[in-house]
Structure 1
C-alpha cells in the first residue's frame, strides 16, 4: 500500500468536480440563459443533454484506450479537452455574436466536455482495484465516484450566484483552467499490487461480451454464471434509471419549480441538499461496507432502492406552491439513498463481472442513455402557456416517478454474489498459508543449525 495512492484519488476527485459542474451549470439559470442569448428552453436543455449523448459514444472505447495508453496518458488527454471546452464555451458568450453562432460555440464546448467527462468516471473502479486492498477499495470508489455528483451540485448552486449567465461561464472557464493541470499527478498503477485482482491485467470488452452471452470458458477469471448475468442486467437497468433521472432533474430543476413560485436560488439549494445529505450518508456507510458490511452490498440495494423510488414518486404531489419544507426533506432522502448506492452499484458490477473498467463504462453509459431519453420525454411533456400554472411539468414528474418504480421492482430479484471479493479473500488466505510455511521452514532450518 503506497501513500501516493491518495494523491491520485485527490486528482481524480478534482477532475470529476471540474467536468461535473458544466453538465448542470445551465439548469438553474435556464430561463436567464434563454433570455440573454436568445435561445429556447429546449436549446438550453440540450446544452446539458449533449454531454450525455457524447458520453454514450465515448464511454465504449475508453477501456481499449486505457489498456493501450494507460490511465495517466488518457487522463492527461482528458484534461486538455477540459481546457479547450471551457474556452470554446466562453467564446460563445461574446456579445457581438448572433444567437445561432453563440449557441453553436457553447454547444461545441459542451460536446468537448462530453468527450472528457467519461474518462474520469470510468477509471474510478479500476484505479481503486489497482491501488487499494479489500479494506479500502469501496471507500476509495465512493470518494472518487461521488465527486462527479458533487461537481454537478456545485454547478447547480454556483451558477445562479455568479451574476449574469455570460459572466458565470467566464468564471467556469477560469476554474477549469486552474484545476485541469492536476491530471499530471495521476499514475497508472503501483509498483506492487495490493491484491490478487489488482495484479491482473484489465480484462477486455470482448471477454465481458462473451461472459454475458454465456460463451466464456468455465475456467476463465471473468466467467459469469446465469445468475450473475441476470444480476448484472438488473444492475444496469436500475443504475441507468436512477442516474438518468438524477441528471434529468438537475437540468429541469428550475423549470420544474419556477412555475410554482420558487426562485433559481431555491432550486440550486435543493440540488445542494441532495449533495450534502448524500455526502453525509455515503461518508458514514462506505467505511462500513469495507470493514463491517463487506458481504451485504446486494442487501443494501434491496433496502435503499424502494425508499428512493418512493421519494421520486412523492414529487408528483410535493411540487406545489409553498411546500419548501417537504421538498427539502424529499431531496435529503433522495441524496442519502442515491449517493450511498452509487459506489455500491459500481463495486457490485465489478464483483459480478471481475471486469472493473468495462463494467463501469457500461453502467455510466446506461445512466446517460436513460438521462438523454428522459430529458427528451420530459421536455415534450411540459405543459403549454395556457396551463395552470403555465408551463408546469406535472406530467414529467408522473413519468419519472413511474419509470423509477418499474425499475425498482426488479431489484427484489437481485442476488448480487460478490465473486471478486471471494476470489481475493481465497487467494489472500493461500498467500498467508504459503508465507506461514516459508516462515516455519526458515525457523526449522535455523533451529537445526543451532
Structure 2
C-alpha cells in the first residue's frame, strides 16, 4: 500500500491563541505499517555500545590516587581525564544530527565503534614504561578524547532508534532502555576500575571491554523496510532548521508558540536534573566524607540511587506506552517537584548519623529522576517532531549544566579550617536552591504530544499489540 502525502502551511492558532503558520504533513492515502523482530536485536547492539561508551567517563575517578602514584600524573591532570568527556560532549552532541542526516544511523554507530577501538589502544599505549610522564599523559588523554567522541553518538541517537523501529506501544520503553544504558555503564566503570591490581592493568581491561563490544555494531540497522508509524516514515528537519523553529524564525514551522515554550522549559528542567545527578555522582564522597561517612557508604548511596531508579524506570516506562499514553506532561508536573524537594532536603539531611534518612532520599531521587529521563526525551520528540534534534539539545543541556554545577560546587567547598573541614554545605545549598527554582517551571508545561497525535490519526496504523504482523525473518 503506498501513501500520498501533502505538505503545506495552513493558518491556525497556537495554544496561546496566537495566529501562526504551521507546516503540516498529512497522510492522504493509507499506508501499511509493520514491526520487525530484529528491532530487539538492534536495541541490544545500541545498549551494549551505550554501556561501554559510558564506562570511560568515570573510570579514573576511583583510582585517581593509584594513577597518580604509579604513572606520575597530578590529581588535577587525572580530573581532566574525566572532565574532557563533558567538555567535548557539548560540540559533538550538536554535530550528531547533521552526521545522522548525511550518513544514517548505522554509519554513525560504525564511526562510534571505530572511535571506541582507537580510544582503547591509544589510551593503553600511554602506559608504556619507556614513555616520559608528559608523553604518557598525552596518549592517555588522546584516548579519552576518542572515547568522548563515541559516547554522545549512542546516547543522542537512542530516541531516533526507538522512533525508527518501535510503535506507539513500545517507543517509550525502548527510549528508557537506551537512555539508562549510559548511566549503567558509568556505574560499571566506577565498580570495575578499582578491582584491578594496577593502573596499567585497569586501562588494559577498559581497552579489552571497549574492543570486545564493538562487534555489537553489526546488530544495528538504520531503519526497517516498512516504518512502524507515520512519523517514522518522515524525514526530520536539520538541526539549524529546528533551532530556527524554536525561536520562531523558520520559513516552514512545525511547532506552535506553545510547543516552543514547552520545549524550552523541558530543556532547562532536563538539563538541570541530569546535570544535578551527574554532579552528585562525581562529588558524592566529597560531600559525604566530611560529615562522617566512609567512601564505601558514599558509594552505596550512589548505587542505591541508580538501582532504585533502574527498577522504577523498568516498571513505569511500559505504563507510559500502554496506560498513561497521553499523560507525560502530568507526570512531569507531579514527579519533578518531588525530585526537587528531595534534592533540597539534602541541605539538612547531609549530617552525621543520618544514614537511614540519606538512603531514603537517594531512593526518592533515583525513582523520580530515572522515571523522568525517558519522559523528558519522549516529550521533547513529541513537541518538536524531531527525535535526533531534540535529543541532541536535551543531552547538550544536561552536560552543560553538569559542567557548570561541578565548577560552582567545587568553588563553594569550605576551607580546611571550617567545621567540619572541607565540607560541601554551601554547595548543597546552591544545588538544592537552583533545582527548586527550576522545577516549578514544570507546572507551566502543557505538553501536547503532537508526534503521538499524528501517529494515532494516521490511516493504516495497526493495533500494535503483541500479535502484530511481523515482516521479515528474525535476525
Per the normalisation by structure 1, the TM-score is 0.90
**Partner of residue 112 from structure 1, selected from 146, 160, 166:** 146
For residues 381-407 of structure 1, the C-alpha deviation after alignment (integer angstroms, 9 at most, x for no partner) is: 223333333333222222211221111
Indicate yes or no: 2:124 matched with 1:122.
Answer: no
**Partner of residue 65 from structure 1, selected from 99, 107, 111:** 99
Alpha-carbon distance between aligned partners in 1 of 2:140 and 2:286, rounded to the nearest angstrom: 20
> 1:156: Cα distance to partner?
2.5
Higher alpha-carbon deviation: 89-98 or 149-158: 89-98
Contact conserved, 1:157 with 1:269, CA < 8 A, in 2? no
In the alignment, which residue of structure 2 is the partner of 1:205? Answer: 239
Indicate yes or no: 2:439 matched with 1:403.
Answer: no
Alpha-carbon distance between aligned partners in 2 of 1:159 and 1:332, rounded to the nearest angstrom: 25
* Alignment coverage as a number of residue pairs: 428
Contact conserved, 2:54 with 2:151, CA < 8 A, in 1? yes
Alpha-carbon distance between aligned partners in 2 of 1:400 and 1:321, rounded to the nearest angstrom: 20
Describe the shift of the 1:165–1:258 C-alpha distance in structure 2 as closer, same or farther (beyond 3 A): farther
> 1:41: Cα distance to partner?
4.1
Alpha-carbon distance between aligned partners in 1 of 2:417 and 2:71, rounded to the nearest angstrom: 25
In the alignment, which residue of structure 2 is the partner of 1:341? Answer: 372
Alpha-carbon distance between aligned partners in 2 of 1:103 and 1:402, rounded to the nearest angstrom: 38
Question: Residues 180-191 of structure 1 correspond to what in structure 2 (within 5 A)?
Answer: 180-191=214-225
For residues 145-203 of structure 1, the C-alpha deviation after alignment (integer angstroms, 9 at most, x for no partner) is: 11011111222233333344443322222211211221121100000001110111232
In the alignment, which residue of structure 1 is the partner of 2:81? Answer: 47
Describe the shift of the 1:37–1:393 C-alpha distance in structure 2 as closer, same or farther (beyond 3 A): farther
Question: Residues 267-306 of structure 1 correspond to what in structure 2 (within 5 A)?
Answer: 267-306=298-337
Contact conserved, 1:316 with 1:394, CA < 8 A, in 2? yes
Alpha-carbon distance between aligned partners in 2 of 1:308 and 1:391, rounded to the nearest angstrom: 27
Alpha-carbon distance between aligned partners in 2 of 1:90 and 1:389, rounded to the nearest angstrom: 40
In the alignment, which residue of structure 1 is the partner of 2:418? Answer: 387
In the alignment, which residue of structure 2 is the partner of 1:6? Answer: 40
Question: Residues 40-439 of structure 1 correspond to what in structure 2 (within 5 A)?
Answer: 40-94=74-128, 97-216=131-250, 223-428=254-459
Looking at secondary structure, tell me which structure has more helix per residue: 1
CA RMSD, 1 decimal: 2.0
Higher alpha-carbon deviation: 96-105 or 368-377: 96-105
Alpha-carbon distance between aligned partners in 2 of 1:274 and 1:122, rounded to the nearest angstrom: 23
SS in 2 for 1:17: helix
Unaligned runs of 5+ in 2: 1-34, 463-475
Alpha-carbon distance between aligned partners in 2 of 1:155 and 1:348, rounded to the nearest angstrom: 30
Contact conserved, 1:27 with 1:252, CA < 8 A, in 2? no
Question: Residues 13-52 of structure 1 correspond to what in structure 2 (within 5 A)?
Answer: 13-52=47-86
Alpha-carbon distance between aligned partners in 2 of 1:175 and 1:205, rounded to the nearest angstrom: 33
Describe the shift of the 1:378–1:95 C-alpha distance in structure 2 as closer, same or farther (beyond 3 A): farther
Contact conserved, 1:157 with 1:268, CA < 8 A, in 2? no
Higher alpha-carbon deviation: 93-102 or 143-152: 93-102
Alpha-carbon distance between aligned partners in 1 of 2:359 and 2:39, rounded to the nearest angstrom: 37
Higher alpha-carbon deviation: 305-314 or 104-113: 104-113
> 1:39: Cα distance to partner?
4.2
Describe the shift of the 1:169–1:322 C-alpha distance in structure 2 as closer, same or farther (beyond 3 A): farther
For residues 67-108 of structure 1, the C-alpha deviation after alignment (integer angstroms, 9 at most, x for no partner) is: 111111110110111121122233334456554444333322
Alpha-carbon distance between aligned partners in 2 of 1:362 and 1:11, rounded to the nearest angstrom: 24
Alpha-carbon distance between aligned partners in 1 of 2:256 and 2:234, rounded to the nearest angstrom: 21
For residues 395-439 of structure 1, the C-alpha deviation after alignment (integer angstroms, 9 at most, x for no partner) is: 2222211221111121111111101111111114x768xxxxxxx
Contact conserved, 2:246 with 2:255, CA < 8 A, in 1? yes
Alpha-carbon distance between aligned partners in 2 of 1:177 and 1:102, rounded to the nearest angstrom: 21
Contact conserved, 2:262 with 2:445, CA < 8 A, in 1? yes
Contact conserved, 2:45 with 2:220, CA < 8 A, in 1? yes
Alpha-carbon distance between aligned partners in 2 of 1:117 and 1:32, rounded to the nearest angstrom: 25
For residues 19-65 of structure 1, the C-alpha deviation after alignment (integer angstroms, 9 at most, x for no partner) is: 11121223344444445544444433322221011010111111111
For residues 296-334 of structure 1, the C-alpha deviation after alignment (integer angstroms, 9 at most, x for no partner) is: 000111111111111212222233334332222222211
Contact conserved, 1:256 with 1:392, CA < 8 A, in 2? yes
SS in 2 for 1:9: helix
Unaligned runs of 5+ in 1: 433-450
> 1:251: Cα distance to partner?
1.8
